[in-house]
Amino acid sequence: MNIQEIKSKRTLDKYYRINHDSGLTIYLFPKKDYNSKYAIFGTKYGSVNNAFSLDNGEVTFVPDGIAHYLEHKLFESEDGDAFSRYAKTGANANAYTSFDKTCYLFSCTENFDESFEILLDFVQSPYFTEETVAKEQGIIGQEIRMYDDSPEWCVMFNMLRNMYHNHPVKIDIAGTVESIAKITPDYLYQCYNTFYNLNNMVLCVAGDLTVEDILKKADKMLKPCEKHTIENYFEDEPYQVVNNYVEQSFPVSVPLFNLGFKDEAHKITQKEFAEIEIILSILSSPASELYKRLDDAKLINQSFDNEFFAGPGYNSVIFSGESRSPKETAEMIKQYIIELKEKGISEDAFETAKKEVYGDSVISLNSVDNICNTLADFHFNDIDIFGIIDDITECTLDDVNNRLKKMLDVNNCTLSVVLPKE
């Protein structure tokens, strides 16, 4: 076992990275005198991982939505479910499946040891039967239909389907009613045994805790795993978007939009991530020139935002929000990007955005849930929570101007719109 103490020279915070003998990487971020404690147990397994091989063996194809299905089923056991156990400790528990990971979490102010043991227990104890799997199909089917009625969900996935030709990121995280009907206990066990290997997982904890507190339970509960090679397979994805516009009608009072800029997929370095965060602040912060122009034209409201959306095999930037005229808003965004690339980002805009991104990063270290969620996300993307703060601080105007030239291709974007029903 290797325990490494990592300190920030800028914030004076520290955390511990533990390479546990079981194969699991554990992060502990001590927050002395904090009442709240938070833990998240995650695996690098999301909705896009529907074709894979283990140890260079035969490629396995599984039904869409199986990662999300597995998340639901893992809470169940032969003796009951994890939520009932958490109810006795008073912890607030939850889980989520994204495109590239699945995470199980809880927060509490008391009975941490008991809640922590529940987390480590049920995530390592799969229990699937024909009967319980069949029962879940109806529950998740209802969830899928609920999302089909959500304008926010539909405007995003319409955009993704218009952006990606082949990549499974365009498929709903929960799958379809048809795809989940194909899920069996054998599929669930196969995916569990592949991706829920501790070498493919991470455990992050924050609160008024010590390394000894964490290892006391980890040493007792973690089941050592043999390390395997997991290879995920994706079809070749063309650079160009599928279509540049799609719309759908919903009973909404104000139109919604998602404007997605597709880029070549590649592994994002820590330095690139810092540069992109600053660029996105320059483009969407309420203090930015673009925000002011859109606001003066009464085209946006406080819902206006953007996101760097990247993962295995996909990479894009998405602008979103409500707008009385989505097409006009999209054109103004594209024209501003063209203008910004031609004349370059100003020193004032750069310094303002850099301070904002730095401030947000430091402030996030005051929240135990933000800390753990960020540690988990960064772990799977080889980014250090303190290193990114250093890279933001050391980023130069030339860095962001050079990065801007390589992204946000205005000729390779798609606009998805939800319009009010007449």
CA atoms within 13 A on the CB side of 155: 24
Q: Which of 71, 116, 121, 126 is nearest to 91 (CA)?
A: 116
Active centre residues (catalytic): 71
Q: List residues bridging with 29 in a β-sheet.
A: 206
**For residue 368, what are the contacts with CB-CB under 8 A and spacing of at least 6?**
29, 31, 34, 36, 37, 38, 107, 206, 207
DSSP 289-336: HHHHHHHHTT---TT-EEEEEEETTEEEEEEEEE-S-HHHHHHHHHHH
Return the structure tokens found at 316.
């894009």
- Using an 8 Å Cβ cutoff, are 54 and 228 in contact? yes
**For residue 374, what are the contacts with CB-CB under 8 A and spacing of at least 6?**
364, 385
- Using an 8 Å Cβ cutoff, are 282 and 397 in contact? no
Whole-Å CA distances, 14 to 246, 375, 384, 385, 389? 47, 13, 12, 10, 13
Letter string b/e over residues 14-41, b meaning 16 or more CB atoms within 10 A of that residue's CB: ebbbbebebbbbbbbbbbeebebbbbbb
Number of Cβ within a 10 Å radius of residue 78: 8
- Report the chain's terminal Cα–Cα distance, integer Å: 64
- Using an 8 Å Cβ cutoff, are 81 and 206 in contact? no
Integer Rg of the chain from CA: 22
